[in-house]
Structure 1
Amino acid sequence: MTARQRLMLLALGATLTTSGAAAEDAVAVAEGRALVEANCSRCHAIDRTGDSPHPQAPPFRTLSRQYPVSALQEALAEGIMTGHPDMPEFTADPVQIAAIIAYLESIQIP
């Protein structure tokens, strides 16, 4: 095998690995969106545009303005509970948490 052929195989392998990772990321983002749509969209704007149905509920696309989105991992693992009756209790497993964080990170605007 020539040096050029080895280089082409390495490039192909890197492309396939990157494509696989991108596909996994896309799946996680889609799963995260489905979870926040099912559990959060009643009050929060969950897309890059639009108003939150509940006036005091922050749009998810702006969460990173207040704190790192990854900081929500612990709250999601322990179960998000608040003192107001509009917000349902929600607990997620580690795979769901990763998907939710991936989705939230994908929609953040500065």
Structure 2
Amino acid sequence: MRGLARALVAGAVVILWAAPAPAQEARVRRGETIALTTCARCHAVGRVGVSPLAEAPTFRTLHRRYPVEDLGEALAEGIASGHPAMPEFRFDADEADALIAYLKSLER
């Protein structure tokens, strides 16, 4: 019986540790909203799908090109790319943090 109790407690700890905190979940949802409203006209911003603009990388693969956690400064100062069709976007620190949290959630 004691072994079963230990296993149940250990399982609960793993579940609680693996589950994102409510604040992080809210940040990810906000980042998803920002991606949908700001970026989705060119980029595939979800876990599936193709980008409406063929040259625009899918958000689910950005982490393969860039360490997305390092994009905060670029997002806040005005992200620009070498592609002339991409407009320059500027996000406040909270928006940049939320967008990065969403991008990181796509890595899983």
Q: TM-score range by the shorter chain?
A: 0.7 to 0.9
- The count of residues paired between Structure 1 and Structure 2 equals 92
Q: Which runs of 4+ in 1 moved over 4 A?
A: none
Structure 1 CA distance, aligned partners of 2:90 and 2:39?
12
What is the match of residue 81 of structure 1?
80
The question of 1:37 aligning with 2:26 is answered: no
What is the match of residue 54 of structure 1?
53
What is the match of residue 105 of structure 1?
104
Structure 2 CA distance, aligned partners of 1:35 and 1:24?
17
User: 1:56 is matched by which residue type in structure 2?
Assistant: E
TM-score (norm 1): 0.75
TM-score (norm 2): 0.76
**Residue segments in structure 1 that go unaligned for 5+ positions in a row:** 1-17
What is the match of residue 70 of structure 1?
69
**Residue segments in structure 2 that go unaligned for 5+ positions in a row:** 1-16
Percent of pairs with identical residues = 49
Cα drift, residue 81 of structure 1? 2.4
Q: Deviations over 1:15-64 (max 9, x none)?
A: xxx7xx71101100010011111111010000011000000100000011
SS in 2 for 1:87: coil
